[in-house]
Chains A and B, each alone.
Chain A
Amino acid sequence: MTVIDPENAPLTADIPEIDEDERARLKARQLEKIGKWILPAVVMALMIFGWDRIVVWNEIPHYILPGPGRVLSTLIADWAMLFDALLVTLQITLLALAVAVIGGVGLAVLFTQSRLAEMSFYPYAVILQVTPIVSIAPLIFIYVDSRLAGLLICAWLVAFFPILSNTTLGLNSADHNLRDLFRIYGATRWQRLRFLQLPSALPYFLGGLRIAGGLSLIGAVVAEYVAGTGGIGSGLAFRILEAGYRLNIPRMFAALILIAVTGVVIFAGLSFLSHMLLRKWHESAIKREG
């Protein structure tokens, strides 16, 4: 039998004790860290390679399916035109998102302050939401003269509902004991809103905002398809339509890639914003051990 003498035990201060479980966990964490970035990159590389090979081996003409190299060179060649279009689409998307935030949060606050307003108007918010935007958009462009205003209204209609419904849920989910406490201390309606309900609603609002960011881009693109008029000041969706008529398939792909990248950037930006605002106190933003 061996008795380990603690005095003469080997120094383990610089080598922390690691058992099987610990090792497995560390390994899993490392795999997670690397895999999160490398695996999607590998999949993408494989897909682009496969795409290229299919085009080359089958000798598919570029007006049916262009190879990735051709799409890239089109993207570079048409950059000036596509970038202008991107700015237009981006402008409508961000404006619509801003108006959706103001409208969604404003309506949510109104609904929680006045039960009468909620009962009167909430059903109509739902009706606006469930009616497909493609079916309303042509009407909007008949009645609204300004093309920009029409596009904005369409994108807003698509984007505002998740913000409204999430913020309403958040405003109503303030801790009931804290509500009682505010009543006991004689808080005014405004104080309750400012110090209790709005902070409680923040995580819900940010969740809605992330959905609305993607939706406002979809709204902007769909509205452009419907609006259809071209010329100066056209967005990416119009460029896709136009390239389609001219059988310029590589440009369609290039514009499509720009739209997808824009969506990802908007989502990432809003996720980052959400993380920064919540990282100090909310469970969703706190990294857990084990």
Chain B
Amino acid sequence: MSTSPAPIGQRAPVLHMESVHKVFGGQVVALSDMELQVNEGDFISLLGPSGCGKSTALRLIAGLLHPTRGRITWEGGQGSGDLGVVFQEPTLMPWATVAQNVWLPYRLRGKTYNHVKDEVLEALKLVGLEQFQNAYPRELSGGMKMRVSIARALVTRPRLILMDEPFAALDEITRFRLNNDLLNLKAKIGCTVIFVTHSVFESVFLSDRIVVMAARPGRVIRELQVDAPYPRDETFRTSSEYAAHCRAASDALHIAMGEAA
């Protein structure tokens, strides 16, 4: 797999959102005419205040909701195991061990554990939890549970991973570590990610494209590119380049809030 993605203009497309419009109850416009092309290797952040439709966009892509108008198409069609999801909570099955939880996406496709054991252990190794395969979720810390959740999302090597504010409930130290680990993962397996967040700093540190959204109605108001090369580490967090990107994203967010008010 690639270690660093191709430049943003030259990536193969994965998914298109074409003027996707979602109305709830016939009157609340959750998402208004959203256009987005997701390309292979993209790390896209959806950044915006609450009610801006970022979670709705994610649920539409996941197929949990259907657009009122417009369409979402997968390049070459969507196969099973093309999509991995990480929610805000770890969302693990408490009655199953760590390995059984990571096995779930394969299990639902009818694969026995022995058949996919190598993939499950490999995914656990990627998140640094291979020695916890027989532990139960309650024995793990919040950060470790979230790692299991990430391992489950990437075990099938999906074409796209959706993350809905996965680290919002964690303490800052754990969040920073998981941000670093997520970028290491991306460098290792070259995954494509759409990441919902309301943290400017998190979005700048992680992504190469930031889609800034505004509320009432939920819509995209600006797209920013963070052209700093990967791998990014702690030195990037303190660089002037990082600060400049944060300011740009922050300004765009202010405009988003101002327009909504």
Residues of A whose CB lies within 8 Å of any CB of B are: 175, 177-178, 180-187, 191, 195-196, 199, 202, 280-283, 286
Contacts and interface: CB of A to CB of B under 8 A. Distances in A.
- Summarize B's interface: helix, strand, loop or mixed: loop
- 9 closest A-B pairs by CB: A177-B91, A199-B95, A185-B108, A177-B87, A187-B108, A281-B94, A281-B95, A281-B136, A184-B62
Given A184-B62, A281-B136, A286-B138, A195 B107 contact: yes
B7 interface: no
Contacts of A281: 94-95, 136-138
Interface in B31-77: 62-64
Contacts of A191: 108
Given A181-B91, A199-B93, A186 B64 contact: no
B136 A196 contact: no
Contacts of A186: 80, 108-109
27 contacts: A177-B87, A177-B91, A178-B93, A180-B64, A181-B85, A181-B87, A181-B104, A182-B108, A183-B63, A184-B62, A184-B63, A184-B64, A185-B105, A186-B80, A186-B108, A186-B109, A195-B104, A195-B107, A199-B95, A202-B95, A280-B95, A280-B136, A281-B94, A281-B136, A281-B137, A282-B94, A286-B138
A256 B206 CA distance: 72
A185 B104 contact: yes
Contacts of A196: 93
Q: Is the interface of A mostly helix, strand, loop or mixed?
A: helix
Q: Interface residue tally of chain B, by bracket?
A: 20 to 34
Contacts of B64: 180, 183-184
A273 to B, nearest CB: 16
Interface of B: 62-64, 80, 83, 85, 87, 89, 91, 93-96, 104-105, 107-109, 136-138
A61 to B, nearest CB: 59
Contacts, number: 52
Contacts of B105: 185
A276 to B, nearest CB: 14
A282 B94 CA distance: 7
B130 to A, nearest CB: 20
Contacts of A202: 95
B52 to A, nearest CB: 20
B158 to A, nearest CB: 10
**Most A C-beta atoms less than 10 A away, residue of B83, B104, B107:** B104
Given A182-B108, A185-B80, A202-B95, 12 more contacts: A177-B91, A178-B93, A184-B64, A185-B104, A185-B105, A191-B108, A195-B107, A195-B108, A280-B95, A280-B136, A282-B94, A282-B95
A163 to B, nearest CB: 20
Contacts of A184: 62-64, 83, 85
Contacts of A280: 95, 136
A281 B80 CA distance: 30
A289 to B, nearest CB: 14
A159 B104 CA distance: 36
B63 to A, nearest CB: 7
A261 to B, nearest CB: 34
Nearest to A175: B91
Contacts of B62: 180, 184
A268 B94 CA distance: 25
Contacts of A181: 85, 87, 91, 104
A75 B64 CA distance: 66
Contacts of A199: 93, 95-96
A51 to B, nearest CB: 48
Contacts of B93: 178, 195-196, 199
A177 B89 contact: yes
Contacts of B137: 281
A182 B109 CA distance: 11
A202 B109 CA distance: 24
Nearest to A278: B95
A196 B96 CA distance: 10
Contacts of A183: 63-64
A280 to B, nearest CB: 6
A286 B136 CA distance: 12
Which residue, A180, A185, A187, A281, has most C-beta atoms of chain B within 10 A? Answer: A185
Contacts of A182: 108
Contacts of B94: 281-282
Nearest to B84: A184
B15 to A, nearest CB: 15
B112 to A, nearest CB: 14
Nearest to A186: B80
Contacts of A175: 91
A180 B107 CA distance: 16
A181 B174 CA distance: 24
Contacts of B63: 183-184
